[in-house]
Amino acid sequence: MKIVITGAVGHIGSYLLREIPTQFPGAHIVMIDNMMTQRFPSLFNLPRVCNYQFIEGDVTTMNLNSIFTNTNVVIHLAAITDAAGTYDKAEELEENNYQSTVKVANACIESGASLIALSSTSVYGTQNDIVDENCSEDDLKPQSPYAKTKLKEEELIFKLFHEKGLKAVHCRFGTIFGASPGMRFHTAVNKFCWQAVMGIPITVWKTAYEQKRPYLDLSDASRAINFIIENNIFDGRKYNVLTHNSTVRQVIDSIRNFIPKIEVEFVDNKIMNQLSYEVSCERFRSKGFIFKGNIKSGIGETISLLKNANTSLIK
């Protein structure tokens, strides 16, 4: 089996590289990344049971047709993911993220490869208590340029599936938590863990403390991708993929299990909206997938990796 992963050295990709061999030993794994984030350690100590090939390049400009030849599955992770930093760079983000998806999807059509594309539960912007993939357009009100572009990518994949025969699935991932060689700390749970360990007040938007949001354990994210490949779920549909719906208060309470003395500082931040909603993942569960992650254990692992850098502040 040949699997191509774009954005391979990132938070999800660097973990996935090490998990694919558990389900597909002997696979030929092609890793593509432009190394803009310089997360070179993501490529260290890869399992020896797969045949790895790294290609440094930008998917928006490189010749993907030759790379995708004889490929079974493409996992498209390449994207600018820092939603908070995209407000002033909406055009740049769309040019990169949307155009990379156009390029990857068309190369999959040309080569016959199946595509796993990632979206985000941040495409929802509703005041309904629970939302799912069948929600109305009124419930799709993305609050950032990143989320707006993800919605546009979903529409593209849907169109190519029906009109061009693209074999694809689109996963709306919850906010990732958990440790990986290429992890970053710009999303909620990981950022909170960093702040707590460093003795910095955890910064929360003033009205966000009791807001509920969907979160996804990194191990569940990796297992979900492997599950899709193993069960050939390339039906053109969108699937919400998340481990927990949790409030910010619940996340912070989980951190207090490991660092009891933390300070919460309420701030103004334009990336957070004033909506609270719960996302259903019953569609994906109905395929037979079982979520096994846990936000408390994910937080514990992350804090354990960080705490040796700041043991004098942790009591």
Q: End-to-end CA distance of the chain, in Å?
A: 49
Query: Per residue in 57-67, pLDDT tens?
Result: 999 999 999 99
CATH topology for 179-213+244-278+293-313 is UDP-galactose 4-epimerase; domain 1 (3.90.25)
- Res. 9: pLDDT tops 90: yes
Query: Domain ranges in the chain?
Result: 2-176+217-241, 179-213+244-278+293-313
Q: Give 200's DSSP letter.
A: P
Q: Are 171 and 117 in contact (CB under 8 A)?
A: yes
Measured at the CA of 178, the angle between CA 272 and CA 170, to 5 degrees, comes to 70
Q: Are 100 and 86 in contact (CB under 8 A)?
A: no
CA-based nearest residue to 271, from 76, 81, 77: 81
> For residue 286, what are its two tokens?
């109905």
Helix (H) or strand (E) holding 285, with range, is helix 282-285
Q: Are 28 and 55 in contact (CB under 8 A)?
A: no
Give the per-residue pLDDT at 208: 79
Helix (H) or strand (E) holding 250, with range, is helix 248-256
Q: Are 76 and 10 in contact (CB under 8 A)?
A: no
Calculate the average pLDDT of the chain.
Answer: 90
Q: What are the strands, taking DSSP E only, across 23-121?
A: 28-33, 51-56, 73-76, 114-120
Backbone angles phi, psi at 268, to 5 degrees: -95, 130
State percent of the chain over pLDDT 70: 92
Query: Per residue in 162-212, pLDDT tens?
Result: 999 999 999 999 999 999 999 888 888 999 999 999 999 998 877 778 888
Query: Per residue in 123-171, pLDDT tens?
Result: 987 666 789 999 888 778 787 888 889 999 999 999 999 999 999 999 9
C-alpha 210/C-alpha 192 separation (Å) is 16
Tell me which CATH code domain 2-176+217-241 carries.
Answer: 3.40.50.720
Give the per-residue pLDDT at 250: 95
Query: Per residue in 70-98, pLDDT tens?
Result: 999 999 999 876 655 556 667 777 778 89
State percent of the chain over pLDDT 90: 69
Give the per-residue pLDDT at 206: 73
> For residue 70, what are its two tokens?
């004889």
- Res. 271: pLDDT tops 50: no
